[in-house]
Amino acid sequence: MEELTATVKNALLALGADIVGFGDISELPPSVREGLPVGISIAVKYPKAVIRGISELPTREYREWYDRLNRRLDMIASQGAELLVGRGCRAIAQTRARVGAGETEYSTVLPHKTVATRAGIGWIGKCALLVTKQYGSMVRLSSILTDAPLDLAEPTNKSLCGDCRACASACPAGAVSGKLWEAGLYRDEFFDPIKCRKTARERAMKGFGGEGSICGKCIEACPHTRGYLDGGGAPDEAALRPVGPADVPDAVDMAWRVFSEFEAPCYAQEGIDEFRRFLDGLPQNAELQMTGCWKDSALIGLIAVRPPCHIALLFVDKAHHRQGIARLLWKSVLAAEAFAGGHGAATVNSSPYAVEIYKRLGFVPTSEEQTVNGMRFVPMRFEFG
């Protein structure tokens, strides 16, 4: 049991979860939990800058991160369920596609928040959002239903909001009554979702001309969120993990942004177009092994390796240049090669801009600059010691 619990938790964290919890949901009606007794709660946090940016009105960046984190959660939950099925367990990923199938306009059959409280990762705040001690309410959630024999946490049955009225005072819709949540209390008894949705639509249109119901003011105002934003809670350390399908659009955007500013000036239009075609093909490229570096939920670095060990991509976001991110990503390749026994050497076709960077990583040129399909490059090689 302990071994499986650690395996599942570590796998979900490696996929990009920020909080993982395991809870007993057997007291819920069997029909809402597919007859499965265990819920796995998965939370991912918003970047700090995104939440700081919605102090007045919701922003397009906030909307984009809302969708981005939802895609990431679908990926994490799906792969987590596959892992459990591979261990002989029943497991159902509560992805958006699945949850939406039983959704009413304002609620779902089994909210992720309910699973989260059963797993003890937080409580329901007065604004009807999950509140965590680590990140406040600046998280998105998903869940997995399973029969796996896992170590289960003590559930959270009462609110820890106390006399705080920060979200009630900040809510532009007046949707927050101020009543404290406790397990079994129906949401509409302390929160008005209709008022919330109506005002959120108005604020989204005013903030960025966008459609949909998105506001976030209660998230930004929560003292637990503010504690994390102001420097408390978990540190924003750079973390490496594999790039999953839900991460590929972010990887493409970051690589193209950096390429366009630093490398494209060295290329003719033919070469620029050739690189763009390569990036557009990444979602279908099953051959590449991609590792990303994340900080505060944002992708800041990427390395892609084509077997046996050819560096196809190595990019670091401009704001994080000269911080050792490229070396950190390269070390992850070295570690994987050492574990696999090595392949003798790593190769790369470096752009003219990146030659000195690769030299600092230990690569040496093996021939003069070449041009293929408009792409200028210097072949380089790293010998595994």
pLDDT digit string (tens) for 52-83?
Answer: 999 999 999 999 899 989 988 998 999 899 99
pLDDT in tens, 13-29: 878 889 999 999 999 99
pLDDT tens per residue across span 138-154: 999 999 999 999 999 99
Helix (H) or strand (E) holding 383: strand 375-383
- Residue ranges of E strands in 112-232: 123-124, 130-131, 139-146
pLDDT score at 233? 46
Here the tokens at position 284 are 């279908």
Whole-model pTM: value is: 0.71
Strand 38-45 and strand 91-93: the pairing is unpaired
Please write the tens of the pLDDT for every residue from 178-212: 999 999 999 999 999 999 999 999 999 999 998 78
What's the pLDDT at 232? 52
| CB atoms inside a 10 Å sphere around CB 26 | 14
**Domains within the chain, CATH numbers bracketed:** 2-229 (no CATH), 239-383 (3.40.630.30)
